[in-house]
């Protein structure tokens, strides 16, 4: 729609002046940023390196040789965390969607389930994850039920899925509620049933809207799978713990932390970008 | 002539505020009934009640002789026979123009994808929108979006088309492209009820014009009678204000 930029155009002298001024402002700001960064980070580094215990800390936390030695066991443990995250993530998605739909439905036949879904979300969102892991991990085997596995990895996953389903259900539900009622009115006036309206009109828009917070929860999920180590699952945290308690050198913890960060930092960056794009899209909608 | 729509003595209130008061209306087949009146006079509520988006407090509504205000009626079946176009278009932003139009024919009428797409493309072509079929609604101008919304309703071959101030959210220069579709549909013989502030347009399409005030029809008749020779002082006053606003 905009006109073609005239190729014969050359900036006016006023514009050249303005560009020069802008360049000098940004140069000054870059200098200030560099000086302040050097000061702050340099001070931190000096405090760290000159602290009386630094030599001991270096040996017990940052022993590169020992770190290399334990690396295979920690990364094998991390593989458990990743499996738990993806399998659990899938189950969480399915259960959370069901809960969110139950909580937003108006069907009278589903009234008891709506009530149960609300109670479920209240309980599992309100109780600390670590307690749920302990209760499921030690409580369920004590019931001696037939057919229920007492495998700690399985029980740990169940506990994480129970808690995260409640969180994710609320995120999806907020997405559903954020779709303007006029969309529903348009769909219903075309003769779509309330189920079809949810399936084809409301849910696709709602899910798209909540992708950034869901990604955020996915990052937390990966970190929180480390908590199942309290049941004795040999995940990355537990593997590090075993090594550390054997030698009283804590480098394995640092190795585990770095490995987690290597996965979560790119994921968080990606999430931030998704959120920014979502926000930009919304502000564009607002301008129309 | 048979009446497609028959409304007798309906009443509707929202929290103690009476919005429709003992209102009756008949709409014969192949005619256009135009509702005029100030904002808040009950035009939109009337249309939403006909479409069962609101439930009425008293009175009866009949569509082709069947009482649709019966609480036991299948609402989805009724809405299948009614088309509704809104002031704010309400296109589905996550679907392309073509998908917006084919959704209901496929899911409601059970047509297959090819059948629904062929019919939708024919309609798009007829109203000069064929090149927009694969675009998303936010890429379209307001006028184009509203034309797509009209096509979306018409694709279901409704018995009755309800148009709720379909040009009120549009730039004045885009109004005409939307109204010309409505004129075409009228000459096809579509039965319709429309609320509008476009008095010139009302004169062109209306078989009957109804002036609403505080939830009741104060004056009704042909466009020539109601718009150009109003008898009721309230109608006269309303038209005078519209005239001052430059819309007549």
Q: Taking Cα atoms as reference points, which of B211, B183, B208 lies closest to residue B197? A: B211
Domain ranges of chain A: 82-226
pLDDT digits (tens, 9 = 90+) for A172-204: 999 999 999 999 999 999 999 999 999 999 999
Q: How far apart are CA B236 and CA B224, in angstroms?
A: 13
> Which residue of chain B is at minimal alpha-carbon distance from A187?
B104
Interchain proximity B80–A189, CB inside 8 Å: no
Cα(A198)–Cα(B232) distance, rounded to whole angstroms? Answer: 47
Residues in A closer than 8 angstroms to B101, CB to CB, are: none
Task: List per-residue pLDDT tens for chain B, 248 residues long.
Answer: 689 999 999 999 998 889 999 999 999 999 999 999 988 889 999 999 999 989 999 999 999 999 999 989 999 889 989 999 999 999 999 999 999 999 999 999 999 999 999 999 999 999 999 999 999 998 899 999 999 999 999 999 999 999 999 988 888 888 888 999 999 999 999 999 999 888 888 888 899 999 999 899 999 999 889 988 999 999 999 998 888 876 55
In the three-class reduction of DSSP (H, G, I as helix; E, B as strand; rest coil), residue B14 is classed as: strand
For chain A, the straight-line distance linking the first and the last C-alpha, in angstroms and rounded, comes to: 16
Q: Which residues of B are less than 8 Å from A204 in CB distance? A: 94
The verdict on A288 touching B (C-beta cutoff 8 Å) is: yes
Decide: A133 and A233 in contact? Cβ < 8 Å: no
User: Containing H/E element for B194?
Assistant: strand B192-195
Size of interface A-B (CB pairs under 8 A): 60
**Nearest-CB residue to A191 (from B80, B93, B149):** B80
Q: What is the C-alpha separation between A244 and A234, in angstroms, rounded?
A: 14
Contact assessment for residue B199 and residue B171, using Cβ atoms and an 8 Å cutoff: no
CA angle (A75, A80, A86) in 5-degree steps = 120
Q: Measured on CA atoms in the order A190, A193, A194, A200, is the torsion positive or negative?
A: negative
pTM of the predicted protein model:
0.82
- pLDDT(A36) > 90: yes
Q: What is the pLDDT of residue A105?
A: 86
Cβ contacts of B84 on chain A, cutoff 8 Å: 186, 189
Question: How close, in Å, is residue B120 to chain A by CA atoms?
Answer: 15
CATH H-level superfamily of A82-226: MetI-like (1.10.3720.10)
Residue A9: C-alpha distances to residues A1, A22, A23, A254 (Å): 19, 21, 21, 59
Q: What are phi and psi of B10, to 5 degrees?
A: -85, 155
pLDDT at A30: 96
Using an 8 Å CB-CB cutoff, list chain B residues near A205.
92-94
Identify which of B53, B138, B149 has the shortest CB distance to residue A285: B138
Q: What is the CA radius of gyration of chain B?
A: 18
What's the CA angle centered on A191, arms A185 and A194, to 5 degrees? 65
Query: Which listed CATH number (2.102.10.10, 3.40.50.300, 1.10.10.10, 3.30.300.30) goes with B1-81+204-248?
Result: 3.40.50.300
Q: Which of residues 114-143 of B touch A (CB under 8 A)?
A: 138
The residue of chain B with its CA nearest to that of A288 is B138
Q: Does B155 lie at the interface with A, CB-CB under 8 angstroms?
A: no
Of the candidates A266, A249, A262, the residue with the CA atom closest to the CA atom of residue A78: A262
Q: Which residues pair with A7 in a beta bridge?
A: none
What are the CA-CA distances from residue B229 to residues B2, B37, B158, B233 (Å)?
28, 16, 33, 11
- Contacts with B229 (C-beta within 8 Å, 6 or more apart), sequence order: none
Interatomic CA distance for residues A149 and A84, integer angstroms = 16
- Each residue's pLDDT tens digit, B71-114: 899 998 899 899 999 999 999 999 999 999 999 999 999 999 99
């Amino acid at each position: 729609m905009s006109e073609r930029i005239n190729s014969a155009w050359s900036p006016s002298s006023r514009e050249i002046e303005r560009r020069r001024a802008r360049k000098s402002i940004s140069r000054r700001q870059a200098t200030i940023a560099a000086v302040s960064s050097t000061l702050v980070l340099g001070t931190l580094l000096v405090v760290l390196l000159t602290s009386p215990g630094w030599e001991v800390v270096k040996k017990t936390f940052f022993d590169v040789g020992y770190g290399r030695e334990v690396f295979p066991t920690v990364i094998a443990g991390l593989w458990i965390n990743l499996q738990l995250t993806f399998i659990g993530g899938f189950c969480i998605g399915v259960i959370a969607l069901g809960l969110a739909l139950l909580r937003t439905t108006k069907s009278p036949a589903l009234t008891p389930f709506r009530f149960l879904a609300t109670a479920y979300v209240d309980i599992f969102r309100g109780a600390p994850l670590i307690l749920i892991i302990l209760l499921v991990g030690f409580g369920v085997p004590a019931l001696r039920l037939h057919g229920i596995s007492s495998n700690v990895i399985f029980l740990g996953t169940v506990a994480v899925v129970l808690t995260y389903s409640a969180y994710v259900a609320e995120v999806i539900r907020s997405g559903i509620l954020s779709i303007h009622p006029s969309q529903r009115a348009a769909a219903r006036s075309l003769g779509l049933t309330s189920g079809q309206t949810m399936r084809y009109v409301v849910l696709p828009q709602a899910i798209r809207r909540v992708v950034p917070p869901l990604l955020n929860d996915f990052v937390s999920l990966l970190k929180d799978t480390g908590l199942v180590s309290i049941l004795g699952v040999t995940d990355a945290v537990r593997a590090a713990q075993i090594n550390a308690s054997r030698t009283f050198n804590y480098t394995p913890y640092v190795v585990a932390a770095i490995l987690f960060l290597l996965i979560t930092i790119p994921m968080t960056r990606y999430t931030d970008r998704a959120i920014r794009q979502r926000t930009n899209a919304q502000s564009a909608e607002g301008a129309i | 002539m048979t009446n497609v729509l028959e409304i007798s003595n309906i009443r509707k209130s929202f929290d103690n505020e009476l919005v429709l008061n003992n209102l009756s209306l008949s709409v014969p087949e192949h005619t256009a009934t135009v509702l005029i009146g100030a904002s808040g006079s009950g035009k939109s509520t009337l249309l939403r009640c006909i479409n069962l988006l609101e439930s009425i407090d008293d009175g009866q509504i009949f569509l082709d002789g069947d009482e649709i205000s019966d609480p036991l009626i299948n609402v989805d079946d009724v809405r299948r026979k009614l088309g509704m176009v809104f002031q704010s278009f309400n296109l589905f932003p996550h679907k392309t123009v073509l998908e917006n139009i084919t959704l209901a024919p496929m899911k409601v009428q059970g047509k297959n994808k090819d059948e629904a797409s062929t019919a939708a493309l024919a309609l798009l072509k007829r109203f000069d929108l064929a090149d927009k079929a694969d675009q998303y609604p936010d890429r379209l101008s307001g006028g184009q979006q509203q034309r797509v919304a009209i096509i979306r309703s018409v694709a279901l071959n409704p018995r009755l088309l309800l148009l709720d101030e379909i040009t009120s959210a549009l730039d004045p220069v885009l109004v005409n492209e939307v109204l010309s579709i409505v004129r075409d549909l009228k000459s096809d013989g579509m039965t319709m009820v429309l609320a509008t502030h476009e008095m010139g347009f009302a004169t062109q399409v209306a078989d009957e014009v109804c002036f609403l005030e505080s939830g009741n029809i104060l004056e009704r008749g042909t466009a020539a009678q109601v718009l150009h020779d109003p008898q009721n002082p309230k109608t006269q006053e309303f038209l005078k204000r519209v005239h001052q606003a430059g819309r007549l």
